[in-house]
Amino acid sequence: MTSTRTLAFGLALLLASVAAVQAEGTFFKPAKQVLPPATTKTAAPATEDTDKATSPSFPDVLTGSPSVVDTATLVVDGHRVLLMGIDGLTGVYASGLQTFIASYGNSVTCTLIAQGPYYHCVTASQNVDVAEAALLNGAAKTNDSATPSQKAKEAQSRSAGRGVWASTGQ
């Protein structure tokens, strides 16, 4: 979950970087995408109190045309999909991610990590990692569950001054 401080920071940087994002027009596209190995989280063991009727169900794989809620949350085939390892941003960053996904065929395949609620999503065309694309463009920030590859993408974005890092690099 994104903290109030992170949201305020993102909002301030959003206003500062709208012109830069609009000038670029599209997300930066890596020349070749190398996907990290899938990581999993171990789910807590079930207890006698677990009631399947009230537990959320997470499909193992979802494929379809996504709607970007924020850069860490998609809706795919009617299911809310949380991208593992990142905290998302709204506004121009979410719009940019929607356009980016559309440029890769407007379809994603999302694979459940362990027993949810997090997913690893790639574009159906060219298997571009959606979370890493958002990080590489400064349209998301890593969180405590980020992979080393995701942290490296965020560092690249900071160094290049993309997105939220356009004015401060912090």
Domain coordinates of the chain in residue numbers?
Answer: 4-26+57-165
Residue 56: per-residue pLDDT: 66
The region of weakest confidence among 69-83, 113-127, 128-142 is: 113-127
Q: Per-residue pLDDT tens for 63-75?
A: 999 999 999 999 9
Cβ neighbours of residue 137 closer than 8 Å, sequence gap 6 or more: 27, 28, 93, 96, 97, 100, 157, 162, 163
Strands 73-76 and 61-64: unpaired
Whole-angstrom Cα distance, residue 102 to residue 115? 28
Residue 117: per-residue pLDDT: 86
First to last CA, the chain: 20
Q: Is the link from the previous residue into 117 a cis peptide, with omega within 30 of 0?
A: yes
Residue 131: per-residue pLDDT: 97
What is the CATH topology of the domain spanning 4-26+57-165? OB fold (Dihydrolipoamide Acetyltransferase, E2P) (2.40.50)
Share of the chain above pLDDT 70, in %: 64
Residue 114: per-residue pLDDT: 77
* DSSP three-state, residue 124: coil
Confidence of residue 111 (pLDDT cuts 50, 70, 90): very high
**Is-contact 119 131, C-beta < 8 A?**
no
The helix (run of H) or strand (run of E) holding residue 61 is strand 61-64
